[in-house]
Amino acid sequence: MSAEWQILPWHTSQWRQLTQALKQQRLAHAWLFSGPAGCGTREFAQVFAAALWCRAPAADRSPCGICPDCRQVRAQTHPNLQTLQVEEGKRDIPIEAVRELCQRLAMTSHDGRAQLALIDPADALNRNSVNALLKTVEEPPAHSHLLLLAQRPLALPATLRSRCQQLRFPPPSVEQATNWLRAHAPAGAAVETALSAAHGAPLDALALLNDGGLDRQIAWRKAMLDLAAGRDDPVRAAQAIGEEQAPAFLRWFFATLANLLRLRTLGGGDADLEWLARALPVSAAAALADELIGDLRRLESNARPLWLLESLLIRWQDLLARR
Ligand SMILES: [Zn+2]
């Protein structure tokens, strides 16, 4: 397998289970892979897809990573692979898209080989889409496989979950994540800081280190603290973050707020976060998180990001000033 396609050290038992099923030709028709974002579940699914068609697999059925099929999977152009995602600007996967997917799956593949439909994230299926999918899950066309990826599998209806073979992908331990990140990040990178900024998700942490996102998040975190302590002005802080980064900031702020509420109950985090977590009035912070969900929706309907950002930061400062 090419280096890029190594199975992550914390996924070896899941890989063994799947390749075993492949070798014995008793692969389930519907799979549900669940695990937190940024920990490699999506990447695992890609390697799994390649293993279905690879022309030169290793003895354990790992894909070679370089044959035409492997390359097509990587480029997301494989003719036997259909991927269903949330379209830009949409919140869920509509029934029409699911119907189309099921119809395509019902057509015999042009070369008689396996067909795979990947739904990512399956959390985005609405009730009607799930109902449309159930028939295919119950009576799958020959040689077809469905693979559902979900961060919150329990949010899926039990009728769907129970018909899938479930495979859980727990996050790596701090030690595993740190070691992996050290081996893949540029020399001298702030590995621990990146991992903490990515809430322990190593692939997200690597992306933060590689695209300058970490420096941005450090600045955002400082702004959040300065506003909380009354050392900065919300309008000035919003200008500094800027219109272009405003959507990313809103999503980051939501994740940070959720993390602070968790820290308040469970403890942990560094001194700054601990201070913030203690200072936060819980019910008001939960209300702010709800409003943020509304803001993220308004972003999709062309609300001005900078305006949303300013009003969020004003609310944030008020929340801490009232304590
Ligand atoms: Zn291959």
193-208 tens-digit pLDDT: 899 888 899 999 999 9
| pLDDT value of position 56 | 94
Residue 53 Cα to ligand 1 midpoint, Å, equals 7
Residue 233 Cα to ligand 1 midpoint, Å, equals 56
In order of start, what are the domains of the chain with their CATH numbers? 3-168 (3.40.50.300), 212-321 (1.20.272)
| pLDDT value of position 8 | 94
| pLDDT value of position 302 | 75
What token pair was written down for 134?
A: 């159930």
- Residue 184 to residues 178, 202, 204, 257, Cα–Cα distance (Å): 10, 10, 12, 29
| pLDDT value of position 163 | 95
| pLDDT value of position 106 | 84
| pLDDT value of position 220 | 95
Residue 43 Cα to ligand 1 midpoint, Å, equals 16
Residue 5 Cα to ligand 1 midpoint, Å, equals 11
| pLDDT value of position 31 | 96
Report pLDDT digits (tens) over 175-188: 999 999 999 998 88
* Nearest-angstrom CA–CA distance, 287 and 294: 11
| pLDDT value of position 267 | 79
* Nearest-angstrom CA–CA distance, 98 and 132: 7
Which residue stretches of the chain are H helix?
A: 12-23, 41-53, 68-74, 95-106, 127-138, 158-161, 174-184, 191-197, 202-210, 213-228, 234-241, 246-266, 271-279, 282-300, 305-321
Residue 6 Cα to ligand 1 midpoint, Å, equals 13
| pLDDT value of position 322 | 60
Cβ(135)–Cβ(68) below 8 Å? no
| pLDDT value of position 30 | 95
What token pair was written down for 36?
A: 């937190």
Residue 47 Cα to ligand 1 midpoint, Å, equals 10
What φ, ψ does residue 20 adopt, rounded to 5°?
-60, -45
Three-class SS state of 115? strand
Residue 102 Cα to ligand 1 midpoint, Å, equals 26
Helix 282-300 / helix 305-321 crossing angle, nearest 10 deg: 180
Residue 81 Cα to ligand 1 midpoint, Å, equals 15
For residue 168, the cross-strand partners are 34
CA atoms 299, 302, 308, 309: torsion sign: positive
| pLDDT value of position 281 | 87
Name the stretches of the chain with pLDDT < 50.
none
